[in-house]
Amino acid sequence: MDCQRRNESGQEKVKVLRLHLLEGKPVSDLCEQYKINPSLFYQWQRTFFENGARTFEGSGHARSETKLEKQLQAVEARLTRKHEVLSELMEEHIRLKKELGEL
């Protein structure tokens, strides 16, 4: 990694954070080794912890999608029923017009 501005992948960032958090490598050593500014390292760490809760909320997210899918299915069923009723009413309307000689 060089000193120019670059965009490390998420995997690369996690790798550096893991070296510090799990293996106890000093931040200064990691920043020197990977040629990153310590403030950037701490920014990655802050982002990592701020977004980490989403990992454990996955099942809740799945439940939300399931609930939304059920709601969508219910709305689609109501819409289908409305179309059926409208079709029946239109058929009845046309039949009555024919009987009255309006068509």
Spans of all domains in the chain: 7-56, 59-103
What is the DSSP code (8-state) at residue 3?
S
| 56 Ramachandran zone, left/alpha/beta (phi>0; psi -120 to 50) | alpha
User: Which amino acid is located at 89 in the chain?
Assistant: L
Q: What is the pLDDT of residues 7-28, one digit of tens each?
A: 788 899 999 999 999 999 999 9
- For residue 35, report the phi and psi dihedrals to the nearest 5 degrees: 55, 55
Check residue 2 and give its pLDDT.
Answer: 44
Q: Average pLDDT of 69-87?
A: 93
The single-letter DSSP state of residue 35 is: T
Task: Check if the beta carbon of residue 38 is closer than 8 Å to that of residue 49.
Answer: no
The angle subtended at Cα 28 by Cα 22 and Cα 32, nearest 5°, is 110
Query: Is the pLDDT confidence value at 3 over 60?
Result: no
**What confidence tier does 90 reach under pLDDT thresholds 50, 70, 90?**
very high
First to last CA, the chain: 81
Q: Is the pLDDT of residue 98 over 70?
A: yes
What is the distance between the alpha carbons of residues 103 and 96, in angstroms, rounded to a whole number? 9
Digit-coded pLDDT (tens) for 32-67: 999 999 999 999 999 999 888 777 766 556 667 788
Rounded-to-integer distance, Cα 59 and Cα 42, Å = 29
User: What pLDDT is stored for residue 84 in this prediction?
Assistant: 94
